[in-house]
Amino acid sequence: MPRPHPASFHADDGRAGCALCAAFRLLSGKARDAAEPQADLARALRRRGDAEQADSPARRRFTRAAAAGGFALALPSAWAQQAQREGVDVGKSSRFSKLVPAEQVEAAAAQQYAQLLAEARSKNALVGAEQTQAVRLRSISQRIIPFAPQWNTRAPGWKWEVNLLASKQINAFCMPGGKIAFYTGLIEQLKLTDDEVSMVMGHEVAHALREHARERMGKSAATNIGLEVGAAILGLGNVSRSLAGMGAQLLSLKFSRDDESEADLVGMELAARAGYDPRSGVSLWTKMGQATGGGGGAGSGGASKLAEYGSTHPQGPTRIRDIEANLPRVMPLYERAPKPTQRWDAGTERVTSKPATPPREQSR
């Protein structure tokens, strides 16, 4: 997230925080008298009760240099370099998520995830950890997860899990706390490459990192039980029952289009840092669109199942355009990143060796 420009910390009443800021105000045309920069700077400093400092030789030399244009290009450039974060920009997390304790959401997710695995195990639908596709998913996750803390400071403390469920359902998710699940239907019907799997996984992990489920619960709390939530925050009430009810629906939560777009971009960056080609996001959603329309080899009933997945993961040209527009931000990350030494792409031989060691986390 880019830091605010230093100029944004100034009030609109003309006050400046320091001589440096006052000089920048002059250079950017915000001074009332651009023809007299030294006098205007002195007046700004006097309003702060610092007239003596304004009249010092050092200040006068600085003012003359600024007025001569010596800082006109250097200062904005230096600030821009400090403010610019490499990668995508999706803004701050929603304040609504703060209405619900993260620990409570993560605990609810862990409970539901355990129940899901138990049910799958009872139906012999939990793919063994030694199976090729399960190994593949864990290998890809081990390359992505090291970059999660850049997006959520709680991520290092999560007990990450990755499991594969044998089902024709076209689905994948990452619950709060790092609980990841893929369905074989998604991988097999779309014939996903490793790069495309990484885009799906990055997308789902991004939902957890950006706490979209917690945000949705917070919005529900604010809308439906606002007074009770306020009382609980003040220690005057208890909303645990209401929140528990919402927590029980974590698997069925639907995110907004903004959440989905945000997850696309964050996921694309995660995949790029992990050494997977972010351009695969275009091929992934092209495949999804073709399959949803009945083509692309979806198989019997595949189109309807893909349409169901698409109802919570919007498709369309706009989505692909957003990905393409942000590729210049992430391609340098991908080009520098260590690449996977093993691949499980469709058509390649089965891999039985251990997953590659995850790369060290890149600096921003």
Mean pLDDT of 323-332: 96
Tens digit of each residue's pLDDT (9 = 90 or more) over 9-23: 333 444 434 433 433
Report the chain's terminal Cα–Cα distance, integer Å: 11
CB 335 within 8 A of CB 321: no
Residues 6+ apart with CB under 8 A from 147: 269, 270, 273, 274, 361, 362
Tens digit of each residue's pLDDT (9 = 90 or more) over 169-204: 889 999 999 999 999 999 999 999 999 999 999 999
For residue 68, count CB atoms less than 10 angstroms from its CB and return exposed for 0-12, middle for 13-18, buried for 19 or more: exposed
Q: Is 84 left (phi over 0), alpha (psi -120 to 50) or beta?
A: beta
CB 91 within 8 A of CB 210: no
* Separation between Cα atoms, residue 295 and residue 147, nearest integer Å: 35
Task: Please report which confidence band the pLDDT of residue 289 belongs to, taking 50, 70 and 90 as the band edges.
Answer: confident
Distance between alpha carbon 29 and the CA centroid of its chain, in Å? 36
Pick the residue with more confidence: 351 or 163?
163
* Separation between Cα atoms, residue 38 and residue 66, nearest integer Å: 9
Q: Which residue type, as a one-letter code, is found at position 32? A: R
pTM: 0.65
Task: Please report which confidence band the pLDDT of residue 52 belongs to, taking 50, 70 and 90 as the band edges.
Answer: very low
Q: Which three-class secondary structure string do you get for 146-214?
A: HHHHHCCCCHHHCCCEEEEECCCCCCEEEECCCEEEEEHHHHHHHCCCHHHHHHHHHHHHHHHHCCHHH
